[in-house]
Amino acid sequence: MLVVRPIKMSDYDALHTCAVESGHGFTSLPVNQELLTNRITHSEYSFAKADVTEPGDEGYLMVGVDSESGEVAGTTGIEASIGWDVPFYSYHISTVVHSSPKLNVNNVVKLLTFGNNYTGCSEICTLFLRSDFRQGLNGRLMSKCRFLMMAEHPERFSKTIFAEMRGVSDHEGNSPFWKWLQEHFFSIDFTMADYLTGIGKKGFIADLMPKLPIYVNLLSEEAQAVIGQVHDNTRPALKLLENEGFTCRNYVDIFDAGPTVECDLRNIQAVRDSFRAQVVISEHSSSQHYLMSNTSFEDFRAAAVKAAFDAESGSVLISQEVATALNLSQGDFVRMLSQ
């Protein structure tokens, strides 16, 4: 059974392994000891922070752990409110029309405008599942456990939830979109820019990025072709979010032009459809699968389990194994989502 829980400092080696395996373009997991250690420390501080009534500087990082082997299978996280301490940049794709009635000419062109439009929003991020664990409901669990947390503790998150999807790059980490920017405005390659962003050194972006809108039709054909497209490895994650109600509002990443998708918290399907039930610990024969989490925040636990829900009494039968994995006792409440 895969169990999601808050990360601990003892998970550092596993987090470093995830950072290495995630590869180029995965900005939120830089292969840097100081930055990874700081992320764990900040997450521990955030989960321990009590009486939170609105999103602030909190960053929640979790790991999925195999309950039998203890091996860390992957990571998943949420930033409660981005862009305050470190600027968050994106491009917005807009449309303008150049028209001359006298010449009977109408040209529709697209622009990329540099901005900070997602400042203050909550970001779901750092979703990475190691290849050996990409099976069953593990991927859904690692993604949707965050929505169970949001449904149970909405005061900790913003109205708008968004996610940056990894854009197109080759196996060596070269981005066609960045190649054009590099040629005209920068002198560093994509992997270095990506790394500097991951470790928080974003000053070069504001210093060197073109401040005026960029006409998309002036970019190379290769760069134009990847705007709003995702990396092959990211397609399953994008599909899952689209099924939850997330959509691209014409914002893309400034490095690889991958799409940014967003949804109002209250409209996320898993948030709307999840519900509370009271725990009865008992053996059962139900084959119905649920994503289930406890209602604690500091000691959050989530897993994909078999359970028997009784709508009339509002109770759910779970095995002792599941109760132990989720730190539950008889009579406790859980939040659950049918699969």
How many C-beta atoms lie closer than 10 Å to residue 289's C-beta? 16
Distance CA(112)–CA(184), nearest Å, equals 15
pLDDT in tens, 91-138: 999 999 887 787 888 888 999 998 999 999 999 999 999 999 999 999
For residue 181, CA distances in Å to 147, 178, 190, 265 come to 36, 5, 10, 34
**DSSP state string for 209-268:** S-SS-EEGGGS-HHHHHHTT---GGGHHHHHHHHHTT-EEEEEE-TTT-PEEEEEEGGG-
How many C-beta atoms lie closer than 10 Å to residue 196's C-beta? 17
Q: Which residues contact 212 (CB under 8 A, 6 or more apart)?
A: none
Distance CA(139)–CA(64), nearest Å, equals 10
Supply the pLDDT for residue 85.
81
Question: Could you tell me if 188 and 173 are in contact, meaning their C-beta atoms sit under 8 angstroms apart?
Answer: no
Fold classification of 2-90+115-270 is Aminopeptidase (3.40.630)
Write phi, then psi, for 127 (nearest 5 degrees).
-85, 110
Question: Could you tell me if 177 and 257 are in contact, meaning their C-beta atoms sit under 8 angstroms apart?
Answer: yes
What's the burial of 51, exposed, middle or buried (CB within 10 Å: 0-12/13-18/19+)? Answer: exposed
Supply the pLDDT for residue 204.
58
pLDDT in tens, 308-334: 999 999 999 999 999 999 999 999 999
What are the boundaries of each domain within the chain?
Answer: 2-90+115-270, 274-338
Supply the pLDDT for residue 189.
66
Supply the pLDDT for residue 296.
97
Supply the pLDDT for residue 140.
95
Distance CA(234)–CA(22), nearest Å, equals 11
The parts of the chain modelled with pLDDT lower than 50 are: none
- This prediction has a pTM of 0.89
Question: Could you tell me if 231 and 265 are in contact, meaning their C-beta atoms sit under 8 angstroms apart?
Answer: no
Distance CA(16)–CA(32), nearest Å, equals 8
**CATH fold match for the domains 2-90+115-270 and 274-338:** no
Question: Could you tell me if 2 and 304 are in contact, meaning their C-beta atoms sit under 8 angstroms apart?
Answer: yes
| Planar angle of CA 206, 229, 241, nearest 5 degrees | 100
Question: Could you tell me if 66 and 46 are in contact, meaning their C-beta atoms sit under 8 angstroms apart?
Answer: no
Residue 16 designated active-site:
no
Architecture of domain 274-338: Beta Barrel (2.40)
Distance CA(110)–CA(306), nearest Å, equals 49
| CA atoms within 13 Å, Cβ hemisphere of 27 | 22
| CA atoms within 13 Å, Cβ hemisphere of 39 | 30
Supply the pLDDT for residue 193.
64
Active-site pick, 153, 231, 284, 289: 231
Supply the pLDDT for residue 86.
80
Write phi, then psi, for 162 (nearest 5 degrees).
-135, 165
Q: Crossing angle for the helix pair 235-243 and 138-152, nearest 10 degrees?
A: 40
Write phi, then psi, for 63 (nearest 5 degrees).
-125, 150
Residue 63: which of 19, 27, 112, 99 has the closest Cα? 19
